[in-house]
Structure formats: C-alpha cells, structure tokens
Amino acid sequence: MMPFVERNMVENIIFEITPMWWTPIHGLEDRQGVIDQFVSLVRDHGFSCRPLEIFPWAANDFYTKENVTGLAKRIDSAVQVDFWFCKEKSCW
C-alpha cells in the first residue's frame, strides 16, 4: 500500500489496530516501529486520523500533524481500535 500512499493516490484508510496481540501472539519484536508507521501516515504523508468506536467521546479525538504524539500513545495503549486515516478534505 505504501507506494500508493507515497504517490498521493490514497485518501482514506481504515485500520483495525490490536496492539495487545502484537507481541504475545504474533511475536512482533519492534512494537514501536509498527506504531511509528501509523504515526508516519499523519506526520509524513498528510493524513489526519480519527478513532472509530462505539463510544461517542472517543470518536471526537482527531489527530493531525500538530498533535500526532497523542495518536502514538493511543495506539500503544489500545486493546483494539479501528482508526480512520483520511486526507483532510475527506475527513468531514
């Protein structure tokens, strides 16, 4: 997918992110590296990000280049969250 992102051909991506499974179940050693890839979509590729959850308060969190650190913390502490990464013109 990244070649399409880098050519600005993707405007919306939805990920189900389940960090609690990464290490114990899948043996993923570079947990921070994976989180950094999601943050990179916002920081380096012009996406904004919003969690998609059943709780209305969570859906109000909106991550942009300016507050992307909060996204990294949210992913790291998540049990399971669906995130919508969107180019700003399509986020509303």
C-alpha 23, offset from chain centre: 18
Q: End-to-end CA distance of the chain, in Å?
A: 23
Give the domain ranges of the chain.
2-90
The single-letter code of the amino acid at 59 is A
Cα 81-27-4 angle, rounded to 5 deg:
55
pLDDT at residue 55 tops 70: no
Contacts of 25 (CB under 8 A, 6+ apart): none
pLDDT at residue 65 tops 80: yes
pTM for the full predicted model:
0.81
Which strand ranges, in their side-by-side order, compose the sheet holding 12-17? 12-17, 81-87, 47-52
Question: Which pLDDT belongs to residue 23?
Answer: 72
pLDDT at residue 14 tops 70: yes
Question: Which pLDDT belongs to residue 92?
Answer: 60
